[in-house]
Copies of this chain bind each other. A is one copy, B any other.
Amino acid sequence: MTDHSHTLSRRHAMALAGAVLLAPGLAAAQGNDALPSWRDGPRKRALLDFVGAVTQEGGADFVQPNARIAVFDNDGTLWVEQPAYTQLVFILDRIRALAPGNPDWQQDPVFRAALAGDLHAIAAGGMEGLIRLIGAAQAGTSPDDFRGVVAEWLASARDPKWGRPYTALVYQPMLEVLAFLRARGFATFIVTGGGVEFVRTISQDAYGIPPHQVVGTTFSLKPGEADGRITLTREPHVDFVDDGPGKPVGISRQIGARPIAAFGNSDGDYQMLRYTTEGPGRRFGMIVHHDDADREYAYDRDSDIGRLARAMDEAPQRGWQLASMKNDWARIFP
């Protein structure tokens, strides 16, 4: 992971390190604020109350440090997912780069849509079409090689709205939540519908989360041998989709314990939020609501990307906090 850290923004690493270093000190000094980018209000208070309750030794809601597990969706929860998932932008760039060697792609509607950059047509192809594109973009490389390709792409790619590297478009209030929870003994995990290796490329530098604490969609890996060495080759078919009902499965398989706090932003996080908050004892669920067209984007139930309907509708009855980017966040980016 450290091999390509120079390709990622130093600025976020610094911002994050700052948050990590400051949080314990801030926490120790009574009255100081470990979440300065959160405006005072019910959401911030609910989060502080929860963390206070589960970390108070002798309290009714105390949770041992080993069991303080918090899970975070990535796209739209920790970084920007509009106008298209960053990984999708990467895949489309890769498909374009690989197209000259794959003339048969021109006969395939999914690949034609990809080559035309037609996001609506790609969305119309559903998860199945998307998985075929991802498979084609990633197949044949080893995991090590693939991480190199992603790191190289991230170093030069720029978001169309802000013209900044994608790794600059992480949410400062969420970086503060991550650092605050870790300072309180939590282990923080990403649980993403995105490809696990793609997200692992950025997780340490962008969020302070090591690769093994990223749960995600996986492609089949074929073991073999070449030139007297063990090889692993990525195959073009998904063997696990870590989205929707898959998120509790991925959590159970990789983390091996039920989280006590979950953060998401779309219906793809609905089951993860339920699985987390249906456990016994004090629990916490939070949804990031993209309602800030001025500073970021405003979308929910009608969006192709990051659709949020059922999880929002059921949030009150399930006790989930609906955090408004517009009202609850004083700042969006670091």
Binding site for B on A (CB under 8 A): 1-2, 64, 66-67, 143-144, 187, 189, 196-197, 200, 204, 210-214, 218, 221, 223, 229-230, 232, 245-246, 248-249, 252-258, 271, 274-275, 278
Chain B residues near A229 (CB-CB < 8 A)? 274, 278
A143 and B223 alpha carbons, distance in the complex (Å):
28
Those 9 A-B pairs whose CB atoms lie nearest each other, nearest first: A211-B256, A2-B64, A223-B245, A200-B256, A230-B275, A212-B255, A221-B249, A230-B274, A229-B278
Instruction: Say yes or no: B196 contacts A253, CB within 8 Å.
Output: yes
Question: Of the candidates B64, B67, B232, B256, which one forms a contact with A252 in the assembled complex, judged by CB atoms under 8 Å apart?
Answer: B232
Known contacts: A257-B211, A258-B144. The answer to whether A271 contacts B230 by CB under 8 A is: yes
**Interface SS majority for chain A:** helix
Closest B residue by C-beta to A197:
B256
Chain B residues near A144 (CB-CB < 8 A)? 258
- A-B contact sample (11 more), CB < 8 A, given A1-B66, A229-B278, A232-B249: A1-B67, A2-B64, A143-B252, A143-B256, A211-B255, A212-B213, A212-B255, A212-B257, A218-B253, A223-B249, A230-B248
**Residue contacts A-B, CB under 8 angstroms, 21 given:** A1-B66, A1-B257, A2-B64, A2-B66, A66-B204, A66-B210, A144-B258, A211-B256, A211-B257, A212-B212, A212-B213, A212-B254, A212-B255, A212-B256, A218-B253, A223-B246, A223-B248, A223-B271, A232-B248, A232-B252, A254-B254
